[in-house]
Amino acid sequence: ACNEESVTDETASEEVRTIQVTTPPTSKNLSWQTPDGEILGYEPDVLRAIDEKLEGYEFNIQAVADSAQETGLKTGKYELNVGGFYPTPERKEQYYVPEEPNGRSLIKMYVREDSDIETLEDLVGKNITPFTAGGGTLQVVLDWQEENPEHKLDLEESSGDIPYAQRLKEIDSGKYDAFVGPANLGQNEVIEELGLKVRGTDPIYVGETILLIHKSEENEQLVEEVNQALKELREDGTLSEISEEYYGEDIFQYEVTK
């Protein structure tokens, strides 16, 4: 018996591959790390659910900043990244991307309570807070701008180091008229906590978010299995459950905007 056990142990450890997985550290509720090192949020929980399903892999989840995430993924330091990524041609070119999305991203506008801004068109001539450089939100707005050149918006970009809480205060104070951004980053909590006279509009965009996997022969199998796992998790309602837990609603209820 002893003998047998040790043999199975060996084969098991040979087969289980440890995967370096990264997720953003400071994007509550999407994904964040507590001071004692716990990694929480929608994305980490989805990762854990996938990990449970995959027999031959073990995920080592780490929280690192976004530019480090993609740099490390490209050089092979990391194998798998999550972080509310939008699918883009460039990403598909550089990385393996499972067909099945791992989540939804809702983009809303945050405006003063008495504001009549409801759609992107209403932003013409308004003061919009700077967008996080190259973020998905900006891309969405730029795409819209391209289709609607007659409504010229005044768009600015910045590094995104100024936190959303601060941005919402700037709406409240009148410095800016609108803040456009992903709705999964705790805006509701901030508004409530600080008693801001700010409201969120209906989503102006609903998109799918994806996983990114380092391109290498070794990982071809991994992509397949992750894809399969995601499909199952989606179907059995696990993803919706996780969403309820962190966002207070099922993000999968929204139709993806074309």
Partner 1 sequence: MDAPNTLEIISLLLEVAHVSLIILVVSAVLGLLLGSLLTMINVKDIPVLKQFTVVISSFTRSVPIIIQLFLVYYALPPILANFGIDASNLSATVAAILALTLYHGGYLTEVLRAAYKAVDKGQHEAADSFGYTPTKKFFRIILPQVVPVALPGWGNALIHLIHDTSLVFALGVADIMGRAELIAAASFGMNQVTVFITVAIIYIIFTFLSDGMVRLFEKKTRKYKLDSGLNARGM
Partner 2 sequence: MLNFEILVENFFGILNVVPQTVALAVTIFILSILVGTVMALIQEYNVPVIKQIVMLFKLFMRGTPLIVFIFIMYYSLPGIVSFFTNLLNLDYNPHNMSPVVILIVAVSLTVSSFQAETIRASFLSVSYGQIEAARSLGYTPFQAFLRIITPQALVEALPEFGNAFLVVMKAISLGFMITVVDIFAEARLIAASNSYYVEAFIVAALMYWGIAYIVVTLTNKYESSLARRT
Q: Which candidate, 38, 27, 66, places its Cα nearest to that of 183?
A: 27
Interface characters, 177-216, with partner 1 (x: CB under 8 A): --------xxx-xx--xx----------------------
Closest approach, Cβ 88 to partner 2, in A, equals 6
Beta bridge partners of 225: none
Smaller CB separation from partner 1, 128 or 190: 190
Q: From partner 1, partner 2, none, which one binds at residue 194 (CB under 5 to 8 Å depending on kind)?
A: partner 1
Amino acid code (one letter) for 48: R
C-alpha distance from residue 225 to each of 20, 62, 237 (Å):
16, 21, 18
Contact set for partner 1, span 4-33 (CB under 8 A): 22, 25-28, 32-33
Contact set for partner 2, span 38-67 (CB under 8 A): 67
Residue 158 in contact with partner 2, rule: CB under 8 A: yes
Smaller CB separation from partner 1, 53 or 169: 169
Residue 134 in contact with partner 2, rule: CB under 8 A: yes
Q: From partner 1, partner 2, none, which one binds at residue 83 (CB under 5 to 8 Å depending on kind)?
A: none
CA gap 234, 214 in Å, rounded: 23
Residue 149 in contact with partner 1, rule: CB under 8 A: no
Number of residues that bind partner 2 (CB under 8 A): 22
Q: From partner 2, partner 1, none, which one binds at residue 256 (CB under 5 to 8 Å depending on kind)?
A: none
Smaller CB separation from partner 1, 196 or 230: 196
68-80 in b/e form (b: 16+ CB < 10 A) is ebbebbeeeebbb
